[in-house]
Amino acid sequence: MNDGAPERPRILVVEDETILAMMVDDALRDEGYSVVGPFGRVDHALQAAEQEDLDAALLDVNIAGEMVFPVAEALDRRGVPVLLMTGYDDSIARKEYKGWPLLMKPFRLTEVLARLAAMTGRSCGSPS
Amino acid sequence: MAAASCVIGIGASAGGVEALKTFFGNMPADSGMAFLVVLHLSPDRDSLLAEILGHSTKMPVLQAADGMDVTGDHVYVIAPGTVLTYADGRLGVRGAAVPQRQLNPVDSLFSSLAVALGGKAVGIVLSGTGHDGALGLKAIRDGGGISMAQGRDGAAAYFDGMPNAAIAIGAVDMFLPVAAMPERLLSLLACPPPPADDLPPAGPVPDMEKYRAAICTALRNEVGHDFSGYKSATLFRRVQRRMQLFGLGIEEYVHYLATDQQEVALLFNELLIGVTKFFRDPAAFDTVAQLVMPLLFEGRGADSTVRVWVPGCATGEEAYSLAILLIEHMATLKVAPRLQVFATDIDEAAIALARAGRYPAALLQDVAPGRLQRFFTAVEGHYVIAKQVRDVCTFSTHSVIRDPPFSRLNLISCRNLLIYLDSELQAQVIPAFHYALAPGGILLLGSSETVTRHDELFEPLDKTHRIFRRRDVATPGPPHNGPWRSANRPRAVPAPSSPAPATPSWSRRAQDRVLQGFAPPFVVVNGDGQAQQFSARTGQYLEPAAGVPSRDLLTMARPGLRPELRAALRQARETGRRVDRHRVSLAGDEAGRTVTLTVEPLGNEGERLFLVVFTEAAPVHGAAAGEPASHGQRDGDVEVLEAELSDAHQRMQTAMEESEAALEELTSANEELHSVNEELQSANEELETSREEMQSMNEELHTVNAQLAGKVDELDRANSDLRNLFESTQVATIILDEHLRVRSFTPAVTGIYNLIQSDRGRLLTDIVCHVDGTDLKVDIAHVLETLTPLEKRLVRHDGSAHYLKRVRPYRTSNDAVDGVVITFLDITSVVEIEKQQLLLDELNHRVRNMLAVVVAMASQTLRRATTLEEFSEIFTGRIDALAAAYTLVARDNWSVVSLREILEVELRPHARSSNTTLQGPQVSLPPRVALVLGLAVHELATNAVRHGALSVPSGEVTVSWSIEIGAAGTDLVLDWRESGGPEVVPPRRRGFGLSLLERSVSHELRGTASVTFAPDGLQARFSVPLGLAGSPAGKMVATAWERKGG
């Protein structure tokens, strides 16, 4: 894997659950993305969201009790597509996080990858 | 919808609402009759009458509208400010410009019923003041219909003005309590009585013949009139009508008649139906017009007055008819004298109706159209007599029996009075008429009356129509002894005729002759000098004075006599003795005669009377010639006489001047009296008008009051409903005024606020309450400002209940905001459910997260496992570690977990207590920290078992920790130290377990983790911040630690 390759889409990952973050991290790298993060704190994530060059973002909604929306909004302002992950029930989540694309936990990695591919304009599964 | 079997008109005014309620309360709803109800209503207000009556009957009660079909078993009530009439099975409703009461709406309805239904019309007059309805009932009854009036029954407020007026003018068939009317109506409907003017009854007349005597006796005894000369057919027809009105047989009726005076009066009225009518008996009026009128106006100038008297005028038709005839005749004359028609009756109600001069159209059906147009104005179904006619007539209450008669009359029309008087009274009244009439005056009597007993007073002009002319003879008996003096004795016992029993008539005649021919002239005067009787031949001493005729003796006495006469009268009055005045000379008497004046008191009971006798003495010079006297004596006599003469002259002069002055004063006083009288008259009329206005106002008030009472009843009921609702509702409600003072509250409030009844008016903020009331003022201010309701949740101080507080503006009935309404809804159960839902959601969230973690764990473990067995072992171990940590965390409901416990639980599967040492203070960890550390310790222990100290029996692990308090916060520092194990070979590549351990401490706990592969054993050091600024978990932990550690 070559993290530095400029053609790799840069994905911001914000997830406080370490093992989940590690899994996503591994999976994205395996899929050929460049991962920014993963961040377990909103303030760090926000800094990255404002400064890093990003193609998409995968954000857990609840980061150690803090809401991730400032990050999502910052990204939105920059035109970076965002995918939110949450463990809350679908009906509650839809009400609370209106407007944002949602991914319900627990998710399958293939679904994450497919959604990201769609967001970044890459075809799913390439290059492996 | 069936047409009405019978249409009943009902009129009422003050007290009428109660009477109507009673009436309809007793009337079955399926009688088939239709009821038209007229009440005097205020025109400015909507009427609740239909609604109020609707409560009393099952029949539909409708407010009358123009053109509405009249249907059986329906009640139609008049609308305010309208006149209700009936024609062709439909209602007629017209708006009225003038106040309803002035229109006599009851008369209008009855009149229309009389015209439309004739003998089938039924009219009922109920409680009310004034006399509306009386003439209408008369119209119904004259048309053969049935008329009823309310009698006192003590059941309701009762005003007898209207019923009494109807009874007074003889328009009522039946006088009943209201409650008895429906039953009577039903029985009458089942068996209607024959109309009064029908053909003779088919019933067995001979049967009635037996009772004729009894009926006539009852009438004679009670009303003093003998009907025995009445035509049988007519009498029986009328009697039969009365019988059937009561549903009685002839025998029962005769019995009833004998016991009930009122019925006798009503039967009498029945017999007199139709005696007052405009131009009744047209033939008689034609004769009067042709024969009498020219006589009345013969030789009269413009300054003379034709005076007419109509005694017993009842409701005035006769008087107006005569006035019309007079006016019509006057129109043909070049010179028109003034007219004066006095119309009198003893009944006030009748006079009031006559004064009003307003008659329902039904009563004028027989009046020629030309006359109607000329002498009447049509107003809303009535005809009002023209002012021209009204001005001629003066109506007053007066009794021909009791009161002195009018005088100097030219015509007396008494066509329906004498029938009410018995023959004795008639015998007194006829001379009174003679007295009242001026010479040549005319007397008109009714068709059944005559003056045959007084042929000497009246001569017939037209026998058929009972027209008589006064004979110019003295009225028998001085007028002041006339029948009208017998006050309070309407049926006067005739005075016993003066006793002349023993004296033969010739003797009496002889005495009279002597008195006339030989006795000296004399005059009888009273104490005031008013002549009471003159003898013959008083002419030489007395002569009528100029001017108004006078009976004053002193006025009449010839000038020379006056001083002596005056002196003598005074002396006689004062002394009570006989006074003689000799040789009183008559001034201007050339013969020089003298008289002797004798004034002698007459023994008379009561009034003092004096006899004045003029005895003629011989002439003075005659005496001188016959009786020669000495010259000296004569001279002396002359001197004495001259002195006396001049003396007398002087006295006379003075007396004359005095008398003239007195006369002038009298004249002016008289004039003043005249003008005062006129003023009084007009004031009286004004009073009469305002009295009527007051009466109508009073009635309207009564009606309004009755309606108000109904409304108040409804309000009371609604109020009581509301109170019950208020008392029983479980919704705690407080109503406050805008100053937060308690206006009212429901009992349920007392669970929240310590309110008692006497707290009304106190500030709510002063009342102890069991919920958070601090922001109440702000909330109320907000609601009052924005006028939008506000909702808030409150918890009871003890947490036992939750309330939803709603604050809404209090709006008055006219939508003004006047305070607030606060309600407290107990939502404790709702809140409980919400909490449970929240918990469930949170649980779901955690489960999902955990599943995501497990999935990631599996994925990561799988990534690095070389065999399935290895994967299974490692994965199971990790899941177990996670589960063990979760068990601990969950045990205390996700609160804090003891560090030592976590360590023990995580080490237990891998180590024995003999080779592990745990050293450190008691520390409580937040769940998340506990979970991460638990997993980290699991990874360390797994590694120790597989490669490190715990892989050999001699190896040992020491875990020690401490709390370090620095500037940034509180840190937990934990050391893992292995010893006694195999030699440590640092791995070529960091395993997943250790990197997970390092990353999770830094990533999730923001701490640091370092693993050192020292040769004598692996060492790990974690530093985890517990007291991060702004982290609630940290604070809690620190507190917990301080508490437990300290």
Q: What's the confidence (pLDDT) of residue B195?
A: 52
Query: Percent helix, strand and coil across chain B, each rounded to 5?
Result: 45, 20, 30
User: Which residue, among B843, B844, B853, would best test binding to A if mutated, counting the most A CBs under 10 Å from its CB?
Assistant: B853
CB atoms within 10 A of CB B142: 21
B1003·A18 Cβ contact <8 A: yes
Closest to B841 (Cβ–Cβ): which among A24, A41, A92?
Answer: A92
Q: Is the dihedral of CA A70, A71, A74, A75 positive or negative?
A: negative
B270-279, B555-564, B787-796: which is most confident: B787-796
B1006·A41 Cβ contact <8 A: yes
Higher pLDDT residue, B501 or B348? B348
Burial B900-921 (b: 16+ CB within 10 A, else e): bbbbbbbbeebbeeebbeeebe
pLDDT exceeds 90 at position B158: no
| Average pLDDT, integer, range B817-844 | 86
Burial B576-599 (b: 16+ CB within 10 A, else e): eeebebebbbbeeeeeebbbebbb
Q: What's the confidence (pLDDT) of residue B123?
A: 92
Output the CA–CA distances (angstroms, integers) from residue A91 to A69, B381, B558, B840, B841, in the order listed: 18, 81, 139, 13, 10
User: Which residue, among B995, B1004, B1008, B1036, would best test binding to A if mutated, counting the most A CBs under 10 Å from its CB?
Assistant: B1004
B575-633 pLDDT, tens digit each: 888 888 877 777 666 666 778 888 888 876 667 788 888 887 765 554 444 444 455 56
A72-85 pLDDT, tens digit each: 888 888 888 888 88
Contacts of B585 (CB under 8 A, 6+ apart): B560, B592, B593, B594, B620
Q: Which residues of A touch B847 (CB under 8 A)?
A: 87
At B514, is the pLDDT very low, low, confident or very high (cuts 50, 70, 90)? confident
Min mean pLDDT across A26-30, A109-113, B782-786, B892-896 is at B892-896
Q: What's the confidence (pLDDT) of residue B718?
A: 92
Q: What's the confidence (pLDDT) of residue B488?
A: 37
Q: What's the confidence (pLDDT) of residue B35?
A: 92
B848·A105 Cβ contact <8 A: yes
Q: What are phi and psi of B887, to 5 degrees?
A: -60, -45
Min mean pLDDT across A49-53, B96-100, B295-299, B778-782 is at B96-100
Report the gap between the CA of A89 and the closest CA in chain B (Å).
7
pLDDT exceeds 70 at position B852: yes
Min mean pLDDT across B281-295, B631-645, B793-807 is at B631-645
d(CA B153, CA B156): 8
Tokens of B411: 């015509």
Closest to A105 (Cβ–Cβ): which among B849, B999, B1033?
Answer: B849
B998-1036 pLDDT, tens digit each: 888 888 788 888 888 888 888 888 888 886 433 444 444
Q: What's the confidence (pLDDT) of residue B483?
A: 42
Residues of B labelled as active-site residues: 13, 40, 132
Q: What are phi and psi of B938, to 5 degrees?
A: -60, -45
Q: Which residues of A touch B996 (CB under 8 A)?
A: 18-19, 22
Q: Share the mean pLDDT of chain B.
A: 80
Of all residues in chain A, the one with the smallest CA distance to B999 is: A18
d(CA B578, CA B598): 7
A106·B863 Cβ contact <8 A: no
pLDDT exceeds 50 at position B263: yes
Output the CA–CA distances (angstroms, integers) from residue B230 to B312, B351, B911, in the order listed: 22, 29, 147
Contacts of B680 (CB under 8 A, 6+ apart): none
Q: How are beta strands A102-104 and B376-379 bridged, if at all?
A: unpaired
| Average pLDDT, integer, range B484-492 | 38
CB atoms within 10 A of CB B89: 13
Q: What's the confidence (pLDDT) of residue B1034?
A: 42
Cα radius of gyration rounded to whole Å, chain A: 13
B353-364 pLDDT, tens digit each: 888 888 888 888
Beta bridge partners of residue B732, listed in sequence order: B824
CB atoms within 10 A of CB B214: 16
Q: What's the confidence (pLDDT) of residue A4?
A: 45
Min mean pLDDT across B265-279, B461-475, B884-898, B899-913 is at B265-279
ipTM: 0.79
Closest CA relative to residue B942, chosen from B972, B914, B976, B973: B976
Tokens of B880: 């177990």
Min mean pLDDT across A41-50, B113-122, B479-488, B947-956 is at B479-488
Q: What's the confidence (pLDDT) of residue B157?
A: 52
* This model's pTM is above 0.80: no
Q: What's the confidence (pLDDT) of residue A124?
A: 44
C-beta separation of B529 from B556 below 8 A: no
Question: Residue by residue, what is the 3-state secondary structure of B183-213?
Answer: HHHHHHHHCCCCCCCCCCCCCCHHHHHHHHH
Q: What's the confidence (pLDDT) of residue B716?
A: 93
Higher pLDDT residue, B183 or A18? B183
Beta bridge partners of residue B309, listed in sequence order: B342, B412
Q: Which residues of B touch A27 (CB under 8 A)?
A: 859
Q: What's the confidence (pLDDT) of residue B913?
A: 64
Q: What's the confidence (pLDDT) of residue A127?
A: 44
A87·B1000 Cβ contact <8 A: no
Q: What's the confidence (pLDDT) of residue B495?
A: 37
Of all residues in chain A, the one with the smallest CA distance to B855 is: A106
B853·A17 Cβ contact <8 A: yes
At B76, is the pLDDT very low, low, confident or very high (cuts 50, 70, 90)? very high
A20·B852 Cβ contact <8 A: yes
Q: How are beta strands B409-414 and B305-311 bridged, if at all?
A: parallel
d(CA A53, CA B668): 132
C-beta separation of B84 from B109 below 8 A: yes
Q: Strand runs (DSSP E) across B269-420, as ranges?
A: 305-311, 338-345, 358-360, 376-379, 382-385, 393-397, 409-414
Closest to A89 (Cβ–Cβ): which among B841, B854, B1032?
Answer: B841
Q: How are beta strands B467-470 and B437-445 bridged, if at all?
A: antiparallel
d(CA B802, CA B983): 66
Q: Which residues of A touch B894 (CB under 8 A)?
A: none
Min mean pLDDT across B129-133, B225-229, B809-813, B944-948 is at B225-229
Q: Which residues of A touch B853 (CB under 8 A)?
A: 17, 19-20
CB-based burial label for B505 (10 Å; 0-12, 13-18, 19+): exposed
> If residue B802 lies in a helix (H) or strand (E), which one and from where to where?
strand B802-811
Min mean pLDDT across B166-180, B191-205, B392-406, B717-731 is at B191-205
pLDDT exceeds 80 at position A95: no
A22·B860 Cβ contact <8 A: yes
Q: What's the confidence (pLDDT) of residue B1044?
A: 35
Give start and end residues of each alpha helix (H) in B865-911.
Answer: 868-891, 899-907
Q: What's the confidence (pLDDT) of residue A94?
A: 61
B454-464 pLDDT, tens digit each: 778 888 888 88
pLDDT exceeds 50 at position B481: no
At B153, is the pLDDT very low, low, confident or very high (cuts 50, 70, 90)? low
| Average pLDDT, integer, range B1-27 | 83
Collapsing DSSP to helix, strand or coil, B359 comes out as strand
Q: What's the confidence (pLDDT) of residue A65?
A: 74
d(CA B697, CA B703): 10
